């Protein structure tokens, strides 16, 4: 392999339930590590996947036109703007490879940030420039823009952010897009809204929802979180129309498979499940925030379906707490791969999972191991 591939650190996913069951001999394991949907998958989506099982021998329809149309309707945009991919990860990867030349161009993102941006950038041979987050994990867009020069082809911003849950005002994101267009007309702003629907006020927080789409911005969303289909791998983007056309030329022809397309369409129609998901996540987020705060933890404000937190002083290490939770059959997310070894991230679970997590934390903090 090329030297830049040999030097890579692989993406580190959350631990799987099967791994922990086997390692600790547990039958019941709770996973609150990967920001999945606490209510599972929509019943209508499950039914659609079963119904289409006999079609598995067929290729999907080229370009997934029904799904594209449904997403265009959902966001009230022209369907020529919509791109679908094998998770939004695929769209991130493709945007980088479509816009940035190896050895010549750069991308800019925050540090820490969702690790796929720098990883796929390095795989593509693109220079990755990192802008530190503020101490409170908010964004300094002035500092981010100082990293942009004529070599920069993409700037990534995650809102709400992973792993902090921080959500900048949408006016600040619009302003960033405008200033970027002035400084670097060939540079694209990628606004990753993977968690935006969990915000208390999505309509007020999302630039995509505002309908005022800057010409130099791409918006990314995913079916992995609020739509409950992480295992099927389905994400989408709202792109400037010319870029969307190139996207379809560059994409692998069938990366969104038949089950993902059918289940995705059914999930979009399952408004009751979606309502229940958003209610459960917003309620569970408040329960976890209050519970962790009462235990003396520092919890960062989050508009997403997870919380970033730190243990109280003298409560032992984050690693020790993570491992003590594992022994009790609860998986959360250590943040070493985000360079935050003393922080932890917990995904909002269902009511029972949230209660079990808080009870385990109470026990662990009462007697740090
Ligand atoms: N963006 C962010 C900020 C994420 O946290 C994730 C999921 N970990 C993704 C994108 C990728 O989502 P998908 O499952 O659609 O590839």
Q: What ipTM was reported for this prediction? A: 0.99
CA–centroid distance, residue 12 to ligand 1 (Å): 13
Q: Which two tokens stand for residue 301?
A: 């404000």
CA–centroid distance, residue 296 to ligand 1 (Å): 30
Domain boundaries, the chain: 3-41+272-366, 43-270
pLDDT of residue 81: 98
pLDDT of residue 96: 98
Beta carbon of 161 within 6 Å of any ligand 1 atom = no
- With a threshold of 0.90, does the pTM exceed it? yes
362/353 Cα distance (integer angstroms): 14
The residue among 102, 105, 176, 104 whose CA lies nearest residue 139 is 176
pLDDT of residue 319: 96
- Cα within 13 Å of Cα(250), Cβ side: 18
Beta carbon of 89 within 6 Å of any ligand 1 atom = yes
pLDDT of residue 367: 86
pLDDT of residue 203: 87
Q: What is the pLDDT of residues 48-102, one digit of tens each?
A: 999 999 999 999 999 999 999 999 999 999 999 999 999 999 999 999 999 999 9
pLDDT of residue 11: 80
CA–centroid distance, residue 204 to ligand 1 (Å): 22
- What class is the 3-41+272-366 domain? alpha beta
Write the CA distances from 124 to 90, 92, 161, 259, 330, integer angstroms: 13, 11, 24, 29, 36
The strand pairing partners of 190, in sequence order, are: 156, 218
* Non-local CB neighbours of 319 within 8 Å, separated by 6+ positions: 334, 341
Q: Does 43-270 match 3-41+272-366 at the fold level?
A: no
Q: Which atom number of ligand 1 is nearest to the Cα of residue 234?
A: 15
What is the total residue count of the chain?
369
Low-confidence ranges of the chain (pLDDT < 70): 368-369
pLDDT of residue 368: 66
- What class is the 43-270 domain? alpha beta
pLDDT of residue 232: 97
Place of tokens 């830049």: 4
Name the closest-CA residue to atom 2, ligand 1: 194
């Amino acid at each position: 392999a090329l030297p830049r591939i040999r030097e890579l650190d692989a993406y580190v996913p959350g631990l799987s339930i099967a791994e922990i069951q086997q390692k600790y001999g547990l039958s019941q394991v709770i996973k609150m590590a990967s920001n999945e949907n606490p209510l599972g998958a929509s019943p209508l989506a499950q039914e659609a996947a079963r119904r289409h099982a006999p079609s598995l021998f067929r290729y999907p329809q080229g370009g997934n036109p029904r799904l594209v149309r449904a997403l265009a309707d959902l966001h009230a945009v022209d369907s020529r703007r919509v791109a679908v991919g094998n998770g939004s990860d695929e769209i991130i990867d493709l945007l980088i490879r479509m816009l940035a030349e190896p050895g010549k161009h750069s991308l800019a993102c925050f540090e820490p940030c969702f690790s796929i941006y720098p990883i796929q950038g390095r795989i593509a041979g693109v220079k990755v420039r990192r802008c530190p987050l503020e101490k409170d994990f908010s964004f300094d867009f002035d500092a981010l823009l100082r990293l942009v020069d004529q070599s920069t082809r993409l700037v990534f911003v995650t809102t709400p952010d992973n792993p902090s849950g921080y959500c900048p005002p949408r006016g600040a994101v619009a302003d960033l897009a405008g200033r970027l267009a002035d400084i670097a007309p060939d540079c694209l702003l990628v606004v990753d809204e993977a968690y935006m629907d969990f915000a208390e006020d999505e309509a007020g927080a999302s630039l995509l929802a505002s309908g005022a789409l800057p010409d130099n911005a791409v918006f990314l969303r995913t079916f992995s979180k609020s739509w409950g289909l992480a295992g099927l791998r389905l994400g989408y983007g709202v792109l400037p129309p010319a870029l969307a056309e190139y996207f379809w030329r560059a994409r692998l022809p069938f990366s969104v498979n038949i089950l993902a397309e059918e289940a995705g369409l059914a999930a979009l129609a399952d408004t009751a499940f979606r309502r229940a998901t958003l209610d459960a996540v917003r309620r569970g987020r408040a329960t976890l925030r209050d519970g962790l705060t009462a235990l003396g933890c520092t919890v960062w404000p989050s508009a997403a379906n997870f919380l970033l937190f730190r243990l109280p002083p003298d409560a032992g290490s984050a690693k020790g707490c993570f491992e003590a939770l594992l022994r009790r059959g609860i998986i959360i997310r250590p943040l070493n791969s985000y360079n935050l070894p003393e922080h932890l991230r917990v995904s909002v679970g269902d009511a029972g999972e949230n209660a079990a997590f808080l009870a385990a934390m109470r026990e662990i903090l009462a007697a740090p191991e």
